[in-house]
Amino acid sequence: MATHQRIDVSKIGDVTIVRFNDRKILDEVSIQQLGAELFALVEMDNRKSILLNFDGVEFVSSAALGKLITLDRKVKSHKGRLKMSNIRPEIFDVFQVTKLNKVFDIRGEEAEAISAF
């Protein structure tokens, strides 16, 4: 199991739950590390059901959104599913403006997202 700096990974059944260690996902170095850690879950650990829990995340930059789009593509290409939960209203607004709420499966709470797999 890899050690992660930017994320905390746990599992409930077949669902891999990812929580973010950073409250603000802003700077380029952090975003590159975050992307590498998330992509490794799919490419190296072969995780198929991934839930990104945004509890505690206050801000997500556009570069970070790009990493999430790439992650979604990687998960789908590996025949997996990606869901998100616990997104603050101000971050959800960004998802709506960019139409990413149509791309991602976003649920209110973690339990709801887990049961949707």
Residue 1 placed within a domain = no
Closest listed residue to residue 109, CA positions, set 60, 54, 38: 54
Find how far residue 8's CA is from the centre of its chain: 11
Residue 2 placed within a domain = no
CATH of the domain at 46: 3.30.750.24
Residue 102, SS3 per DSSP:
helix
Q: How many domains does the chain have?
A: 1
Residue 80 placed within a domain = yes
Structure tokens, 25:
């996902």
Supply φ then ψ for residue 85, to 5 degrees. -150, 170
Kindly indicate the confidence band of residue 46, based on its pLDDT and cuts at 50, 70 and 90.
very high
Instruction: Give 2 or 95, the one with higher predicted confidence.
Output: 95
Rounded Cα gap, residues 68 and 2, in angstroms: 20
Range of the domain at 13: 7-115
* Whole-prediction pTM: 0.95
Residue 107 placed within a domain = yes
- pLDDT tens across 23-45, in order? 999 999 999 999 999 999 999 99
- pLDDT tens across 50-107, in order? 999 999 999 999 999 999 999 999 999 999 999 999 999 999 999 999 999 999 999 9
